[in-house]
């Protein structure tokens, strides 16, 4: 959770400071001049700000050990994995974008497994009462 939070903050800052760098990292073509009415950079700024905010949410959840938030992220990161994979399969996004989908899917599975192990560990420890 903390790693994802820090990465979300860092990539949010990269997108705000240099949207072309983030576009390249995601496998999108970077155009020199953009046509009037092309709001790619506006969208990148909005997405990057959302990423930065999300990173802060994750770090707050880690600092406060907010377990319900962890479970919530498992569900919605699986949804994100599905949507991003569909974008790649339908060629609405470049194949390299599947890395983002994989990151979301693996993050969801890792968090879900950690929550499962923690729950089982707590229920299997004998009580002193």
Q: With H, G, I as helix, E, B as strand and everything else as coil, classify residue 129.
A: coil
Can you say whether residue 80 is alpha, beta or left, with left for phi > 0 and alpha for psi between -120 and 50 degrees? Answer: alpha
pTM: 0.77
Residue 119 has pLDDT above 90, yes or no: no
Which tops the pLDDT comparison, 31 or 84?
Answer: 84
Q: How many CA atoms lie within 13 A of 16 on its CB side?
A: 13
pLDDT digits (tens, 9 = 90+) for 43-90: 889 999 999 999 999 999 999 999 899 999 999 999 999 999 999 999
Residue in this structure with the two tokens 């400071």, named with its chain if needed: 17
- Reported as a pLDDT band with limits 50, 70 and 90, residue 128 is low
Residue in this structure with the two tokens 């903050």, named with its chain if needed: 9
Q: What's the pLDDT at 106?
A: 94
For 89, the token pair is: 């399969």
Mean pLDDT of 99-128: 85
pLDDT digits (tens, 9 = 90+) for 100-114: 899 999 999 999 999
Q: What's the pLDDT at 1?
A: 87
Lowest mean pLDDT among 8-12, 18-22, 120-124: 120-124
CB distance 45 to 13 below 8 Å: no
């Amino acid at each position: 959770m903390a790693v994802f939070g820090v990465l979300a903050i860092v990539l949010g800052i990269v997108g705000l400071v240099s949207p072309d760098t983030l576009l390249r990292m995601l496998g999108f073509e970077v155009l020199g001049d953009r046509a009037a009415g092309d709001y790619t950079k506006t969208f990148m700024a909005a997405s990057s700000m959302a990423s930065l905010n999300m990173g802060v949410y994750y770090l707050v959840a880690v600092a406060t050990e907010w377990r319900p938030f962890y479970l919530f992220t498992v569900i919605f990161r699986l949804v994100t994995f599905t949507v991003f994979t569909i974008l790649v399969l339908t060629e609405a996004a470049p194949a390299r974008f599947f890395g983002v989908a994989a990151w979301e899917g693996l993050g969801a599975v890792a968090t879900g497994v950690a929550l499962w192990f923690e729950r089982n560990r707590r229920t299997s420890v004998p009580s002193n009462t």
